[in-house]
Structure 1
């Protein structure tokens, strides 16, 4: 059966050749960048939209992080295989990182699933490869270096897909990317030192440390400290106590019984809005502070879940609730997920999902990586993405399509370079709209 799937993958080349994956043609009916940005701002908090524009204006790479909807449109209009996986959706290099498993081991994996949805497998790979090209350009590396890094990613993805296609399915699902093992296999001492430093910082990132960093004792009661415009209280927590209780009850119902019991030992103390990321700025993202009888804190991040940018180009979501869509997609893709993952519905019918805030999380610091270490990170991301797609797609068919040569690797690299060029042009249009006063900007 595996050989049959491999042959089917080779046959798929007749429909969509591997070399055609290199092609990027700007869709003829593509709207202006200004209009597409305005459309992506729909239903965001108006006073936060200028901050979103400011964060996107820092570089083409930052702009790219905020324009997943624009690329989804472009990808739909390019040749693609229509072979689905549980796509990450907003698959760029900053949406991978380290975190603690429920067993408290440090692993690295995809860690942002706001846009997750079933979609063609190569869309994730193309978005990820383009992000590495833009990051390399942002670091003023040569174009040859940028292409080599993108090729390191795509080669890793293809070669690891062959490994995963041959693995026992249970072994594949149990597999985790242990950061300490990655550290031990690192090719140079500089990379080992960077991972050591990241692991050290993560070990110190406890809920108690976060508590002391972002709270204030006000007349014997703890509150999240306002730091407008990035952290502030949009509601009176005491007056809205009943609404918050109902919201939390709906969330707790989505947890499995042992976790319901665990969280029942904590009570909500405060709720504040907290601006996060680039693409998420303007959506309703909050921090909930809970305390137990021992005055131990638990911080939950609550993020608004909107329709995936991929849905209009693929098929309707299997979930009526977009918070559930995010949670179920994350559980499918990740090797280990936060024990507090869940979802709820707000008073206005908006969907939200929950996870722990800063639970020993490690974000990649691209500024610290030289070209060799950026290439090593690209290889790791390629391996992680291959595992995610092997779990939720047809790995033998994908292997048959990609083959043993570097034809596919080069095609994706070519696409990434071309799409990075398009992103830089879009960024120029974006900056012109800002300078013309058509898009408001506010520094943080």
Structure 2
């Protein structure tokens, strides 16, 4: 958005999802081989991977990313998708390709509203989505369960059972999916109002109350709620995005900021015009019936916002739009999309841009996607192309507080996420091949649990290496509240 002009593509590429790409023929891994982790001595230094990622991100925000990642081994894991993908690529794989989330950890599942205003539970982050070996998603999810469980103080016997629950419920749903019609698989969804009472029975009282509180809060997380949290009202009653640097900075305050790579100074008017031009590209990328909706709003304000853990340092903007009524806001998020961390290790489809990769992967895997999704490509002040995707900032979005789960609650939640991941994979043509590979073999559950426990040890060491790098001054971490 910083001095951006560019292009959008209204034409989606044609590809065959769920079909293996042409590549060298390698014998597929046995179920037992899926338990293997890379030898620690042969792994690349995890800190160097983070340093490489920093080269393509906003240098001012890299210390914030490091601070958020370093908080616990679990927060490190959330930001270390690139580290784990390099490890997965060094181990045997099934050879069965499907559309992956690419970053399927516990905190990337949650609730949100469909366009029919039903609240569902599904995967909710697709920044790294890409075709790849199906078990990579399962392994990342299962390892996150073990790491989060350790973070909560659970003993090994519990975390092993939780990881096995991910694999077991994934495997069972895939077996069920081959008996379902293609359309039934496509329309399958987890409705919160019907499924939560069942889940609540498996949670202890305190956890159930916490989850119920999350759902109640999520139902009120909309653009009006975002305005109350992120905006100030001036003396004339108009909303403006408030300033809370470096985590939230209105675009006008960045006009003379060094974020412009060419070093040139931009007036507030020039910056605003560039932002308007970029949103014009977004509008042109929308289908006609959604652009008719978008046209009922006008842009009021724009700000840079730091989001997530692993995404910190990539450009992320919040756009405040307003309709004709007094209480008629719409808040959108424009987020930079870079090459998926999986792309160095698997065949890469021909996407027109990384924003298209994100929204297409989301629409393939997610039971119901945001109707405001859009993808655009623009040039910065140095004539460098950047890809972006656009979505609503808040539309009933909420996530379970993983840190509040007890062992029984974690097991139930791990099972739910495993089933949800299977539902996403079963939307593709690969479901028959995955189900045949897994058959009814519970050895898969044991192999994934074994992998998850071993990888949690590796992650623990990687987190310690990051802390040592911060202490030595090799990398910098900001002292900011998260």
Cα pair 1:184 1:192 within 8 Å, conserved: no
Cα pair 1:243 1:347 within 8 Å, conserved: no
Aligned partner of 2:451 among 415, 429, 434: 415
CA distance in 2 between counterparts of 1:386 and 1:411 reads 17
2:269 aligned residue: 238
Equivalent residues in 2 for 1:92-111, closer than 5 Å: 92-111=105-124
CA distance in 2 between counterparts of 1:25 and 1:203 reads 43
1:229 aligned residue: 246
CA distance in 1 between counterparts of 2:227 and 2:429 reads 41
1:6 aligned residue: none
2:22 aligned residue: none
User: What secondary structure, in the 3-state scheme, does the structure 2 residue paired with 1:118 have?
Assistant: strand
Aligned partner of 1:288 among 310, 314, 319: 319
Cα pair 1:16 1:79 within 8 Å, conserved: yes
- CA 1:396–1:48 in 2, change beyond 3 Å: closer, same or farther? same
Q: Name the stretch that deviates more: 204-213 or 408-417.
A: 204-213
Unaligned runs of 5+ in 1: 1-11
TM-score by length of 2: 0.87
2:161 aligned residue: 148
Equivalent residues in 2 for 1:186-197, closer than 5 Å: 186=199, 187-188=201-202, 190=205, 192-197=208-213
2:20 aligned residue: none
Cα pair 1:183 1:195 within 8 Å, conserved: no
2:13 aligned residue: none
Q: CA deviation at 1:233?
A: 2.5
Equivalent residues in 2 for 1:62-77, closer than 5 Å: 62-77=75-90
CA distance in 2 between counterparts of 1:288 and 1:28 reads 46
CA distance in 1 between counterparts of 2:442 and 2:155 reads 22
CA distance in 1 between counterparts of 2:276 and 2:102 reads 32
Unaligned runs of 5+ in 2: 1-24, 256-267
CA distance in 1 between counterparts of 2:221 and 2:45 reads 43
Q: CA RMSD in A?
A: 1.7
User: What secondary structure, in the 3-state scheme, does the structure 2 residue paired with 1:346 have?
Assistant: strand
User: What secondary structure, in the 3-state scheme, does the structure 2 residue paired with 1:278 have?
Assistant: coil
Please give the per-residue CA displacement for 1:276-331, whole angstroms capped at 9, x wherever unaligned.
11000111011000011214110001111000000110012321310011011100
TM-score by length of 1: 0.94
Aligned partner of 1:218 among 217, 225, 234: 234
Aligned partner of 1:88 among 75, 91, 101: 101
1:7 aligned residue: none
1:390 aligned residue: 426
Structure (1/2) with the larger helix percentage = 1
Q: CA deviation at 1:27?
A: 6.6
CA distance in 1 between counterparts of 2:283 and 2:375 reads 8
CA distance in 2 between counterparts of 1:317 and 1:394 reads 16
CA distance in 1 between counterparts of 2:121 and 2:269 reads 39
Q: Name the stretch that deviates more: 362-371 or 97-106.
A: 362-371
Cα pair 2:40 2:458 within 8 Å, conserved: no
Q: CA deviation at 1:14?
A: 7.5
State yes or no: 1:376 paired with 2:397: no
1:166 aligned residue: 179
CA distance in 2 between counterparts of 1:393 and 1:155 reads 21
Q: CA deviation at 1:198?
A: 2.3
